[in-house]
Amino acid sequence: MTYDGRGLRFGSVAEQYDLYRPPPPPEVSAVLGDLRGVDVLEVGAGTGKWTRLLIDLGATVTIVEPDDDMRAVLVRRSPDVRALRGAAEALPVDDALFDAVLVSSAWHWFEQPAASDEMARVLRDGGGLFVLWNGFSRDVPWLDEITALRERPDDEHKRPRGWGADFGPEGDFVIESEVEVDWTWTRNVDELVSVFGTYSGAIIRSDEERQEMETEVRRRLEEIAVNGVVDIPMTVRGTVARRNARA
């Protein structure tokens, strides 16, 4: 996770991130399945928004997170999880240890093919790889206009956000399914403005630039809010893949 260090700036807003970023919706449990007795590695786990769901579903969870401040929040919230410092491109675990690997909203920060090669290494044959994004729904015009404010138009280092993973026809994985789970996230205007402050495009701005962005986000949200509350269309999208048997 390099990319000019931008992916390692979230620790500066770790508490805000954990408080305001959207959790995974309950509906996504059907995608992950019954995890009782399943050894799961979560890579780029952040503050543990998805970690807590994995625990609730019965998984035995190990996480790898490179940012010390993000990982500290996760450990405080989920003290029984095995938490390791490390990067997706060099996972600090042995071969074939896990039944499943989960990556949520972090895949676009990884260097490929190094990261997917590492996940193939640590998965047991037939193990599942879940690459998921939990974010604002696309193709909703009013929401697209607001979410565009997350990034500066002239930001040449903006990291494209993906909605799926491509492993190629000759790789270690075969794609099992593509995921699309729509849900609605109801929040007040203040909470949503705070969410915008946790994106990389906001973190890298000056205090003045960030304030200008938040003021404009607030103005637009207040135009559509009902009694100060907005129903935000959300979608979990991504890819479920299966690790091929080793030769």
Q: Give the model confidence (pLDDT) of 99-152 as tens digits.
A: 999 999 999 999 999 999 999 999 999 999 999 999 999 989 999 999 999 875
From first CA to last CA, the distance across the chain in angstroms is 29
Distance (Å, rounded) from C-alpha 47 to C-alpha 189?
23
Average of pLDDT values for 211-228? 95
How many residues in the chain? 247
In a domain? residue 151: no
Distance (Å, rounded) from C-alpha 85 to C-alpha 106?
15
Write the CATH number for 40.
3.40.50.150
How confident is the model at residue 150, as a pLDDT?
83
How confident is the model at residue 144, as a pLDDT?
95
Domain region containing 22? 3-140+156-186+233-243
Which H helix or E strand runs over 74?
helix 68-77
Paired strand residues for 64: 43, 84
Distance (Å, rounded) from C-alpha 129 to C-alpha 176?
10
How confident is the model at residue 6, as a pLDDT?
47
Distance (Å, rounded) from C-alpha 114 to C-alpha 101?
15
In a domain? residue 197: no
In a domain? residue 22: yes
In the chain, the number of structural domains is: 1
* Residue 19 burial (C-beta neighbours within 10 Å; 0-12, 13-18, 19+): middle
User: Which of 183, 150, 194, 186 has the alpha carbon at shortest distance from 15?
Assistant: 194
131, two tokens: 């690459």
Distance (Å, rounded) from C-alpha 103 to C-alpha 120?
13
187 has a pLDDT exceeding 90: yes
**Residue for token pair 């994995």:** 54
In a domain? residue 220: no
How confident is the model at residue 167, as a pLDDT?
79
Give exposure, 219-229, as e/b (b: 16+ Cβ within 10 Å). Answer: ebbeeebeeee
Which H helix or E strand runs over 64?
strand 60-64
In a domain? residue 21: yes
11 has a pLDDT exceeding 70: no
Residues 82, 84, 90, 94: is their CA dihedral positive or negative?
negative
Question: How far, in Å, are 61, 93, 167, 207, 229 from residue 104 at the CA level?
Answer: 14, 19, 17, 28, 27
Distance (Å, rounded) from C-alpha 91 to C-alpha 105?
18
In a domain? residue 96: yes
Torsion of CA 135, 137, 138, 141, to 10 degrees: -130
In a domain? residue 199: no
Predicted model pTM? 0.89
How confident is the model at residue 4, as a pLDDT?
46
In a domain? residue 193: no
